[in-house]
Amino acid sequence: MDMVIWTIAMTAALVVGLFVLLVSGVICTVFTDSVLPPGIQGPGKLRLIYGIQVAIGTLGNIAQNLCLGPQITFVRYLRRKALKTKHKEETGLITQDVQFDDVPVRVYQPRPVSAGKRRGILYFHGGGWVFGSIDEYDHLCRYIAKETGSVVVSVKYRLAPEHRYPAQFEDCLNATLHFLKTADDYGVDSSRIVVSGDSAGGNLTAAVCLRISAMEERSGLPPPCAQVMIYPPLQMVDFDLPSYQQNQCVPLLFRTRMIFFYLQYLNGDMSLGEDVLSGHHLPVQLKTNYRKWVKADLIPSEFQVGAHKPNLVLTHEEDVYDLVKPSFEPTFSPLLATDAAISKLPPTYILTCQFDVLRDDGLLFKKRLEDNGVPVSWYHIQDGFHGIISFFNNGYLTFPSGKKAVDNIVSFLKDI
């Protein structure tokens, strides 16, 4: 009996010790690796969320080292458990999980059935093409469907590293085309379908709209009537834009983490990270060509405050360039599409956050659209950070600016 008690006591001590080490490591990482600039909303809550992310990543790494499975698989599972908030089932909605051209989707239909045809909204979730799910975005899609009286389709596209570019893009494109073809079945006016998404989903939104606008004449389908892009990543050319430098260590998206997501989406070769970060992945001639669309001088002066240093790299690694070539396609980097292609895009809503590495991608795309005569509605969260709309209605972890932003998006959609 004494041996049993001793074993239990030692096991308990070990568990407590490991827990203390984990918590200590998380706290140390949160306070040493991240920077919360003055003016950012809810710094205490943001540190807590970032701490949860660090803890989840650490547990996933431990599981992988114990040969319990890939880290990403564990991180996905733990994220769903830790970050998903219980939300009340909306009684005014009918939901169903179906497939659109072999792509899983969740359809949210307001009840009662409308006498006329409703607006339709496709939503592509964020998560760096690696994380995220329709379950994690269920509360947001329910809110949008109920508040706008629209049929919302949330798309469960394939994720990296199991699937690489262009799998995610193709899933979103196929789901969109299917919805355009079958809109009548859901009581939706096919001429009032909006494509939308946040973060990686914002990238996929622009990519899908670019492809559909290019095939519009031969498809016989009406194009999307608008696109909603929420802090989208739009180019893998320049990681030295002001927002990348100003916010490189601001949670919830670091500069190096964005490169990780891009490379996971592209080909999974993490050894290319330093070359991409330093600009050695792009030939000088291409870099010069893209500077007409991607450079700090095109960003309003109020966003250039700080020690911004332009990238002056004049050499490149040819083998690296060969490996990242697909990243310069418009369906990967929509900011690099031609003026002719940009001019065909539908009216656009763009949301940016001040303390987000992707802020300037949104600002540059806004300028490109306006220069090519495309109407743009822009909403900027002055105290916002990347991912803030995911916390628009999450109990203690709610951020008022996230709620205002979601309601602003709802207002835009209601006018369509």
Which residues belong to the active site? 199, 356, 386
- Nearest 10 degrees: CA dihedral of 90, 91, 94, 98? 40
> d(Cα 393, Cα 372) in Å, to the nearest integer?
37
Identify whether the C-beta of residue 93 lies closer than 8 Å to the C-beta of residue 109: yes
Count of H-run helices and E-run strands, the chain: 14, 8
Residue with tokens 């599972």: 77
The angle, 0 to 180 degrees and rounded to 10, between the axes of the packed helices 400-414 and 138-148 is 40
Contacts of 35 (CB under 8 A, 6+ apart): 249, 250
List strand residue ranges (DSSP E) for 48-125, in order.
93-100, 103-110, 118-124
> d(Cα 348, Cα 376) in Å, to the nearest integer?
5
Residue with tokens 């998560």: 127
Helix (H) or strand (E) holding 353: strand 348-355
Reference 130, options 168, 94, 95, 166; nearest CA is: 168
Contacts of 92 (CB under 8 A, 6+ apart): 110, 111, 146
Q: Is 270 exposed, middle or buried (0-12, 13-18, 19+ CB in 10 A)?
A: exposed
- How many Cβ atoms sit within 10 Å of the Cβ of residue 268? 11
Residue 163 has which token pair?
């699937």
Residue 229's DSSP bridge partners are 197, 350
Q: Is 352 exposed, middle or buried (0-12, 13-18, 19+ CB in 10 A)?
A: buried
